[in-house]
Amino acid sequence: MDLIDEFRNRDLCETLLAHIHSEALHNFTIMEVCGGHTMALHRFGIPALLPSTIHLLSGPGCPVCVTGRGFIDQAIELAMHNNISVCTYGDLLRVPGSLTTLEKARAAGASIEIIYSPLQCLEFARENPAMKFVFLGIGFETTAPASAVTLVKAAEERIDNFYLLSAHKVMPPAMAAIIHAGVKVDGYLCPGHVSTITGTNMYEPLVIDFKVGCVIAGFEPLDLLQSILMLVRQFNGAEPRVEIQYTRAVKPEGNPKAQQIMNQVFEPCDAWWRGLGVLNNSGMQLRPIYQHMDAVLAFGLNMAEPPDPPGCRCGEVLKGLLKPTQCSLFSKICNPTNPIGACMVSAEGACQSFYKYANH
Ligand code: SF4
């Protein structure tokens, strides 16, 4: 039996489900914050297996979904310049900007490279000194350390044609903002990959301030069911706390080396989130010593945020106020081959997960 089979064991899943059904006697709302959890829950059909007392909501944990159209607009504008090339992870390509996508701009001649690591962008910069290269940094604490390592390397090598356009974000301010917005959440399924970097400390204020349970969960069926049972037991015992279910990857202290390099390069800043607006200290901007590589400053970008397309309700979906199927465009006009909003573009977006697994 390989590791994956072990975490998909049917007998153990049924045992956990039996416990959940016998113990979840009161109405209880769980928000999964991570887009990877949204996808996994629906892919494995878990919502349909849970008792009617448990309500699952999807939250703002898909980085592509919370990144604004203004970010895409600015990236496209940069890529249209003769001597600027933009490097991006592939999942940003089809996210709609105000007028077009990076994918369509690329087909129209904009210089856009798809990469798997920011170090590839740095390599391009090293090999092509006459060009300027801008890396689109999106994601949470999972991807920010790789951006930070690349910036340190660029500074050490004095490479002066490499820049970062940062939409990096941290998760807890969004988790707090959702509760402040009046969304009823009794327990959070906390992101597994983010927590491998951060550890548990960043969730403690949520427990203290809002009495909400937090369980850091893995991505296999047994992980998800065990995490849900842990939250149910916290709720039944009126003892909300931070627990790690995903112990094979997450340590309480996280990854100190990755934290150190992130803190060396980035400092907190206010950042815009789709659905939540501007949240204090929820973004990561470059510290002064690295600011010569900040694309916003270097190219004088205007990061104003245009509204979402008419009829698109991604903002409410990301706050857990609306199920994707309640958007009037869902499936009729908006689908993975013709995505109107960001939540339908990303494989981790709630709308695409519902379309692929729950709706069809
Ligand atoms: S179904 Fe499409 S248009 Fe509606 S909220 Fe989701 S992404 Fe936006």
Whole-number pLDDT of residue 199: 97
Q: What is the SS3 assignment for 114? A: strand
Q: What is the pTM of this model?
A: 0.92
Please state the atom number of ligand 1 nearest to the C-alpha of residue 350. Answer: 6
Dist. CA 355 → ligand 1 center (Å): 10
Q: Which domains does the chain have, with CATH numbers?
A: 3-63+171-244 (3.40.50.11750), 66-170+254-298 (3.40.50.11740)
Mutate to test the pocket of ligand 1, among 325, 343, 348 (most ligand atoms within 8 A of CB): 343
What pLDDT is attached to residue 81? 95
CA distances from 155 to 76, 167, 282, 289 (A): 25, 20, 25, 9
Determine the Cα–Cα distance for residues 121 and 131; give it in Å rounded to an integer: 12
Indicate whether residue 65 lines ligand 1 (CB < 6 A): no
CA of residue 67 to ligand 1 center, whole Å: 15
Question: According to the model, what pLDDT value does residue 279 have?
Answer: 96
For ligand 1, the distance from its centroid to the CA atom of residue 82, given in whole angstroms, is 34
Please give the pLDDT value at position 3.
Answer: 65
At residue 272, the pLDDT reads 94
> What pLDDT sits at residue 2?
66
Answer yes or no: are the C-beta atoms of 293 and 157 closer than 8 Å.
no
Atom of ligand 1 nearest to the CA of 343: 7
- Please report the pLDDT score of residue 305 as a whole number: 86
The verdict on the CB of residue 69 being under 6 Å from ligand 1 is no
- What pLDDT is attached to residue 186? 96
Handedness of CA 20, 23, 26, 31 (dihedral sign): negative
Bridge partner list, 189: 32, 215
Which of ligand 1's atoms lies nearest the C-alpha of 328?
A: 4
Tokens of 315: 């903002």
Task: State whether the beta carbon of 33 lies less than 6 angstroms from ligand 1.
Answer: no
pLDDT at 115: 96
pLDDT tens, residue order, the chain (360 aa): 566 678 899 999 999 999 999 999 999 999 999 999 999 999 999 999 999 999 999 999 899 899 999 999 999 999 999 999 999 999 899 999 999 999 999 999 999 999 999 999 999 999 999 999 999 999 999 999 999 999 999 999 999 999 999 999 999 999 999 999 999 999 999 999 999 999 999 999 999 999 999 999 999 999 999 999 999 999 999 999 999 999 999 999 999 999 999 999 999 999 999 999 999 999 999 999 999 999 999 999 987 888 888 999 999 999 999 999 999 999 999 999 999 999 999 888 999 999 999 765
Contact between residue 172 and residue 202 where contact means Cβ atoms under 8 Å apart: yes
Ligand 1 atom showing the smallest separation from residue 341 Cα: 7
Contacts of 192 (CB under 8 A, 6+ apart): 34, 36, 37, 216, 217, 218, 219, 223, 246, 249, 250
CA-closest residue to ligand 1 atom 1 = 330
Residues 6+ apart with CB under 8 A from 215: 187, 188, 189, 190, 227, 230, 231, 234, 242, 243, 244, 245
Ligand 1 atom closest to 342 (CA): 7
Q: Is the CB of 334 under 6 A from ligand 1?
A: yes
Burial class (CB in 10 A: 0-12, 13-18, 19+), 304: exposed
Tokens in use for 118?
Answer: 């920011």
330 lines ligand 1 (CB under 6 A): yes
Check: CB of residue 274 under 8 Å from CB of residue 349. no
Q: What is the DSSP letter of 290?
A: G
Q: How far, in Å, from the CA of 318 to the mean position of ligand 1? A: 10
Residue 192 phi/psi, 5-degree rounding, is -70, -50
Q: Is 344 in the pocket of ligand 1 (CB under 6 A)?
A: yes
Centroid of ligand 1 to alpha carbon of 321 (angstroms):
13
Q: Which helix (H) or strand (E) holds 75?
A: helix 69-79
Q: With a 6 A CB cut-off, is 313 part of the ligand 1 pocket?
A: yes
